[in-house]
Amino acid sequence: MAKCLKIIEKRNKRGLAAKSRKIAVGVGQAGRRNGVKAWEGGKGFLIKMETRDAFELDMMGKKVRLGLRTFVMGVLNTTPDSFSDGGLYMDSGAAVAHGVEMVRQGADWIDVGGESTRPGSRPISAEEEAERVLPVIRGLRRKLGAVPISIDTTKASVAAQAVRAGANIVNDISGLRFDERLAEVAARYHLPLILMHIRGRPENMQQRPFVRSIWRSVHDGLEWSVKRALARGVRREQLIIDPGLGFGKSRTQNYEILGHLGRLRSFRLPILVGTSRKSFVRAATQGEKISGAARRKRPALANPSAKPGSEVLSSLEFADAAAVTAAILNGAHIVRVHDVEHMVPAVRLADAIVKATSGGR
């Protein structure tokens, strides 16, 4: 019999005590739903967060422990057309300075990308991409010492050049679908390899019909990527998976993935999540329906200390912090963010909650 923890008394309009109703929570028959533990008893229901799994990541022969705290990956785009910061860091000097500043603000890793993957973007040549990223990676390596630098690319030739310039992580948004030889680069240099789920390609991923079962698509897609990486010589301790929020998913599907992220624990691999400044986060900030149907926008959440004209950006910062927190509480080991300064406090708070609810480990 479930232990009664609380009794709620209902009162009628005359203020007389009505029949009490017992709500039992906390003790009862154990069940499992969507990767969280549940205890059912009477009419009550309590959900307990899972402890985040710990992993040792192999980074060029060195062991990096993931799971004790959340790692922050700072985004550094050297592109003219990325959806958030396109054109801001085309100059290599400005890009290097921004990367150094993100580390000062609390970034653990810097992710350098030279090709936009926003919806509708077109691919560029390997030569043009290399020209954008290599000077930045060399400059960051000189300035940052041993701080890990990730190359965000889908091309093996760009990845190999980036590694020789100083990169020590490969971040592939295609999950090896565009160029399987990326796995060989990671295997040869003993680099961590981030495998992301994507449906289609950036130029058409949001135009195709969305799948009915997003979890089947994500699971099967990541399973294929992991198998191909292992077949190409990458070891499991080098792998990180990313569900690919915003890459070929509907707005509702992005929220669903974020809320049920714990399902990815079945892969027994570290999880990276990138929600930063994406359209489904902006939509929630502006009060739009999760289904994507338009409606009258609510006023943006203003920051009293914000400069005039920056209220929308301030509200997006709050929403980004909420999304980062949700990702961590649901099992993310690494969060990829643009605004390191404002996301680090959210990461620290979420980590404190994870630690407190996992026995202080």
Catalytically active residues, by annotation: 278, 336
3 state DSSP class of 109: strand
The answer to whether the CB of 203 falls within 8 A of the CB of 178 is: no
CA distances (Å), origin 261, targets 61, 123, 202, 344, 353: 29, 30, 23, 21, 17
- The torsion defined by the Cα of 107, 79, 202 and 340, in degrees rounded to 10, comes to 20
CA angle 325, 349, 324 (to 5 degrees): 15
Backbone φ/ψ region at 295: left (φ over 0), alpha (ψ -120 to 50), beta: beta
- Spatial distance between the Cα atoms of 158 and 47, rounded to a whole number of angstroms: 45
Residue with token string 């990845």: 159
Q: Rounded to whole angstroms, what are the CA distances from 242 to 89, 175, 214?
A: 25, 9, 14
CA-to-CA separations, 339 to 75, 136, 336, in angstroms, rounded: 8, 19, 9
- Packing angle between helix 156-165 and helix 181-189, nearest 10 degrees? 20
SS3 5: strand
Rounded to 5°, the CA angle 168-330-229 comes to 35
